Chain A
């Protein structure tokens, strides 16, 4: 986190949007809350428990995930996995993400002159 609260808030918003996609992407196979957290952590994505676990519940409530309780050792764990609707939504979100990344990338690559040209073209 930075000292700049406005920047912090923007980063939070940016991550929040991407988080749903990140979570769905890891649930093609069954995972429980902490294992999702570990998967993210191993890939460098640190996420607050208070954000991830309620999100899993919300996605289940939206009909994108199915869940089952299983007892492993002495501990019951709730496993989540994508259902058919979740698969469909994930594929669409993935395509949307690729398009967005491509557009943003091109926007950053545009030099100042190109930006000037774009600004002078009429918007249709």
Chain B
């Protein structure tokens, strides 16, 4: 018995599952000894430590040798990795958006100068990194457990015999979706619904007067009368984005739904533009000097912005309808066959 061979075989055993250990260790020891015996005869010299070292070197390191007896092992294998990557991106985007909204809220409440803002921003970045790492760790753990527990056939690729090229979804460039943009859009719309409907105070104009903070509402009753309609449109927008996320591409019904939403949005913007001002006339009146000018200017600026929104969205709407009615039917007919 050579202690080097013992150590080599023992270390290989440490890399193997328990039930394989005894059998494989015996076999590898036998193979090493066969090789030594043969070499000893060929070189006409007795087995010594130097020869053992050379033979073990030939066999390879214990970890490498043991690995060759085992099937490939994954924490998250090829069948689950695409799903893991998709979930990871969505979760990180959600965490990023939540962190940004939370940071914005904290800054508006607590920071009055750059010196106060910097530590808040630093802490927010640190919190985000910690939360993201923790979320990623939990996801890896969850997917690693799934990898072990899911039957082999689940989420496996379809077999070659079952695969039909006609099931391929041909996606023209304009039908492709940008997933991170959609997720961010859903989150921002959700945040807007919450803020405008449940925390309208967050939208107030704040300023320091005589050493204390003064809060003054900007939006008028006219705006809040239209808010249920705006909220309804936002909810429909979220529904459309969620359907898009699920389908992974634009389809003809989604395009027309988007057109209807855009038209309704233009209608609401027109109502806001033509109705009473959505900005309170006294929003800045309590400001010592610039108050009057600001109070006079803001309604005009808002009306200008609404006019531009109506104009640009109107042009975009006409272009979209033109594309759908005149240019797209051929492409859409072809892509719909793949569904």
Contact = CB atoms under 8 A, between A and B. Distances in A.
Interface stretch (A20-28, A72-80, A92-100): A72-80
A50 B31 contact: no
A38 interface: yes
A78 B34 contact: no
B30 interface: yes
A68 interface: no
Contacts of B27: 33, 53, 78
Interface in A24-61: 32-34, 37-38, 48-51, 53-54, 57
A47 B28 CA distance: 16
A12 B60 CA distance: 17
B247 interface: no
SS class of chain B's interface: helix, strand, loop or mixed?
helix
Contacts of A38: 38
- Report the contact-size class of chain B (Cβ under 8 Å from the partner): 10 to 19
A98 to B, nearest CB: 26
Contact of B30 (A48, A50, A54, A75): A75
B33 A50 contact: no
B33 A75 contact: yes
SS class of chain A's interface: helix, strand, loop or mixed?
helix
A67 to B, nearest CB: 9
B18 interface: no
Given A75-B33, A78-B30, A50 B38 contact: no
A39 to B, nearest CB: 12
Interface residues of A, number: 17
Interface in B212-268: none
A37 to B, nearest CB: 8
Given A38-B38, A49-B35, A76 B30 contact: yes
Interface of B: 24, 26-28, 30-31, 33-35, 38, 58-60, 64-65, 68-69
11 contacts: A32-B30, A32-B34, A49-B58, A49-B59, A50-B60, A50-B65, A51-B68, A53-B27, A54-B69, A57-B69, A77-B34
Given A33-B27, A33-B30, A48-B60, 12 more contacts: A33-B34, A34-B31, A34-B34, A50-B60, A50-B64, A50-B65, A51-B68, A53-B27, A57-B24, A57-B69, A77-B34, A78-B27
